[in-house]
Amino acid sequence: MSNPDVENGGQARAPPPTTTGIKPPPGRYSASSVDGQHAPVSPFFYDHAAGVHERQHHTWLVPLVVLANVAMFLVVMYYNDCPRNGSDCVGRGVLRRFSFQPLKENPLFGPSSATLEKYGGLERYKVVHGNQAWRLETSTWLHAGLIHLGANMISLIFVGVRLEQQFGFWKVGLVYLVSGVGGSVLSVLFIKNDGVSVGASGALFGLLGAMLSELITNWTIYTNRIAAMANLLIIAAINLAIGILPHVDNFAHIGGFLTGFLLGFVLLIQPRFGWSEHPFGGKTKSKYTACQIVLLVLAVILTIAGFAIGLLMVFRGVNGNDHCSWCHYLSCVPTSSWKCDN
């Protein structure tokens, strides 16, 4: 996301108009009590006024991740085999063993919570006391239902493809994977119910957080800075605000967003506007600003410290709600229309 450098007296082309929008919502749901009506909104935000890289990366990782998530959903549905249990399965006559659990059990058209737990869903007791830390990552590749899967994958395409084109597969992939774990760590620490939490939205929120830090760290290469910042902050606020509705694991969202926000300062840093390198080592400007370097160092320290402290608390069995009486409101705010006991 950088403006084209004007070198050797060349003229810069006028940038195309900025495109923004809001796309279908991702969400991380508790599979024991899911509700498809409430899920965070995912933005498709890209400031074309920031210009184009010298070269655009080929996009293959994001489509591969989408295919992997779809394949994993099919595998889980195959082994779920709803008709085997004699339940009133949805679509039993057509889908047979791929049919969905009764809607009163799973309104998102998906498997049972027991199946999700068996194949890698995030369950606090098994992570803390069962030495199954791998669930912190595997849970991000599972989905509570067809609606959940579709919303997350559509959002991933709109957000992830643009980022991969600009920054390459390994940077976007690293943000995605690590943010998913960061979301799971915070979820284990603070989620109050004993259900199974699944979904890729922690990783998706990580991409959103990385977009925000990318804007901050590459501030000098944007032309319409205030509008871009306001747009991202508003969309991030909407995303997280919807997470306070019931049956949505907002702790996974917050943890993923914070992780991606820090990683963006490290991985998505770009040379300052006007920097260029000539033969024989000549440079017109220093490559990075002092502010970029300071933010990078701080982000590395905070990321390492955050994961070290978070994982230590998880494996010691710490319940964050015992030390923070109001934190549960970050994931669910009770009203006259719903309760947050579970």
Q: Can 38 be counted among the known catalytic residues? A: no
Alpha helices by DSSP H, listed for the chain, are 61-80, 92-95, 113-118, 124-128, 135-138, 146-167, 169-190, 201-217, 225-242, 250-267, 290-315
Tens-place pLDDT, residues 195-231: 789 999 999 999 999 999 998 888 877 778 888 788 8
Phi then psi for residue 189, to 5 deg, are -70, -35
pLDDT of residue 272: 74
**Residue of 143, 148, 247, 253 marked active site:** 253
- Asked if 116 and 77 touch (Cβ cutoff 8 Å), the reply is no
Q: Is 44 exposed, middle or buried (0-12, 13-18, 19+ CB in 10 A)?
A: middle
Can you read off the two tokens belonging to residue 262?
């820090």
Residues in Cβ contact with 17 at an 8 Å cutoff, skipping those fewer than 6 apart: 48, 49
Q: Can 336 be counted among the known catalytic residues? A: no
pLDDT of residue 114: 92
What is the torsional sign of CA 19, 24, 29, 33? positive
- Asked if 82 and 99 touch (Cβ cutoff 8 Å), the reply is yes
Label residue 329 by pLDDT band (50, 70, 90): confident
Does position 25 have pLDDT exceeding 50, yes or no?
A: no
Tens-place pLDDT, residues 82-124: 998 877 899 888 999 999 999 888 888 999 999 999 999 999 9
- Look at 325 and 37; give whichever has higher pLDDT: 325
- SS3 of residue 320 by DSSP: helix
pTM of the model: 0.82
Label residue 20 by pLDDT band (50, 70, 90): very low
Return mean pLDDT, the chain.
82
Label residue 284 by pLDDT band (50, 70, 90): low
3-state per-residue secondary structure call for 7-57: CCCCCCCCCCCCECCEECCCCCEECCCCCCCCCCCEECCECHHHCCCCCCC
* CB neighbourhood size of 84 (10 A): 10
Tens-place pLDDT, residues 291-324: 889 999 999 999 999 999 999 999 999 999 888 8
pLDDT of residue 37: 38
Residue type, 207: L
Tens-place pLDDT, residues 128-153: 988 899 999 999 999 999 999 998 99
Label residue 242 by pLDDT band (50, 70, 90): confident
pLDDT of residue 109: 93
Tens-place pLDDT, residues 62-79: 999 999 999 999 999 999
Label residue 179 by pLDDT band (50, 70, 90): very high
**Residue of 201, 213, 247, 331 marked active site:** 201
How many whole angstroms separate alpha carbon 247 and alpha carbon 226? 35
Could you give the angle at which helices 250-267 and 201-217 cross, rounded to 10 degrees? Answer: 40
Of all residues in the chain, the percent with pLDDT exceeding 90 is 48
Label residue 282 by pLDDT band (50, 70, 90): low
Does position 47 have pLDDT exceeding 50, yes or no?
A: no
Does position 44 have pLDDT exceeding 70, yes or no?
A: no
Q: What length is written for the chain?
A: 342
